[in-house]
Amino acid sequence: MSTPLLEVDGLTVAYGDAEPVVRDISFAVEAGKMTAIVGESGSGKTTSAMAALDLLGPSGNVLDGSIRFKGQELSNLANAEWRKLRGRKIGLVPQDPNNSLNPLKTIGASVEDGLEIHGVGDGAKRRRQAIALLERVGIDDPECRYHQYPHELSGGMKQRVLIAAAVALEPEVLIADEPTSALDVTVQKTILDLLDEMRAELGLGIIFITHDLAVAGDRADDVVIMERGRVVEHGPVSQVLTNPTQDYSRRLLANVPSLAVADAYRRPPVAPRPSFPSMGWPCATATSPPWRAFPSTSPGAPRTPSWVAPAPARPPPAARSSCSTGPRPGASPWTAPS
Ligand SMILES: Nc1ncnc2c1ncn2[C@@H]1O[C@H](COP(=O)(O)OP(=O)(O)OP(=O)(O)O)[C@@H](O)[C@H]1O
Ligand SMILES: [Mg+2]
């Protein structure tokens, strides 16, 4: 086993003077791997993630435990050092898309924030990158959306903007807190495939927090199951989800209608692209992203069989009317905003 990129060991966290809400939690992720953290609401998933990034807020206290990035202890890191690490080396997709974007900043400015803070490129380059990233996460008409404000986007679109912002700096580790919870299944697949590509091509390690055991089962390498602030079971997905040893894990699994639904997310084999441009996806390549394994609407493409009912056209809400929501040339019609 190679050295984990991120390792959380024996973490105990309390808010204020109350009893700890997370006790003796451990999890880790290696390069190119995904570790899923699953558990009921309130079991301490977000607290663990935020503690791992020193983002607990004033009332949160880490009482015990170690957080290591590539073997380097982070628990006593100075704020200035944290600022160099966060975003650049360890990215975060926060849980709540509705409160995580600055309402006074355009979508483009939010995606460019990290690039600017870390001094990447000039204004024009950052703009190109932001638009290409918006395209990659399946945002329609990204040039137009770039100028919009969060209140003009749906929850699912905001979630994708947060994902674009988190991967903009190509971090080595991504902590994603329910990053696809507001997305419909097809857009979710787009995002999961993008994350798979980044794992395969950049060695990105992902901590993926989710309620969705089917997604964990299909995409993750390891799973950590939490209940009431503790880890009840952890290990390789193939072992934990097929042969759980704890009652709580069995109950969680029993509540998944069928792990067979994971087939709906089955990812295509990841074929490394010749160049996954470091910090720059030119718009030209972004207009026909290879991860969209859905039928094309290009003239030569086979037509949708007549027995497949077309999806009803959704008129854009007035607040979003200034951007085109229809399919763009070369873009998949399946990635309409959720
Ligand atoms: N800022 C806070 N102050 C006090 N208690 C908090 C705070 N944030 C979270 N908690 C408490 O900590 C516990 C764990 O919450 P946390 O948000 O980590 O759970 P979670 O597993 O992420 O839940 P969910 O699936 O609903 O997102 C809960 O009991 C919650 O009420
Ligand atoms: Mg949470």
* Alpha carbon nearest to ligand 1 atom 26, residue: 41
180-218 core/surface letters (b: 16 or more CB in 10 A; e: else) = bbbbeebbbbbbbbbbbbbbbbbebbbbbbbbbbbbbbb
pLDDT computed for residue 300 by the predictor: 34
The CA-atom distances, in angstroms, between 325 and each of 139, 143, 333 are: 9, 12, 10
Output the CA 22–ligand 2 centroid distance in Å.
Answer: 12
Residues, beta carbon < 5 Å, ion ligand 2: 45-46, 95
pLDDT computed for residue 301 by the predictor: 33
pTM for the full predicted model: 0.80
CA nearest neighbour of 337 among 110, 160, 215: 160
Output the CA 15–ligand 1 centroid distance in Å.
Answer: 9
Cα–chain center distance at 274: 24
The CA-atom distances, in angstroms, between 170 and each of 41, 91, 149, 199 are: 30, 8, 24, 11
**What value, to the nearest 5°, has the Cα angle with vertex 287 and ends 284 and 288?**
110
CA nearest neighbour of 325 among 141, 184, 191, 185: 141
Output the CA 210–ligand 2 centroid distance in Å.
Answer: 9
pLDDT computed for residue 304 by the predictor: 27
Cβ-proximal residues to 61 (8 Å cutoff; 6+ apart), any chain: 13, 14, 15, 16
Q: Which atom of ligand 1 is nearest to the CA of 40?
A: 25
Give, rounded to a whole angstrom, the gap between the first and last alpha carbons of the chain.
40
Tell me the per-residue pLDDT of 95-151, one tens digit each, with 9 for 90 and over.
988 999 999 999 999 999 999 998 898 999 999 999 999 999 999 999 999 999 999
CA nearest neighbour of 223 among 187, 197, 262: 262
Output the CA 6–ligand 2 centroid distance in Å.
Answer: 19
Per-run averaged pLDDT (10 residues), the chain, 338 residues: 89 97 97 96 96 94 96 92 93 92 96 92 94 93 96 93 94 95 88 92 95 91 96 95 91 69 45 35 31 29 28 40 53 31
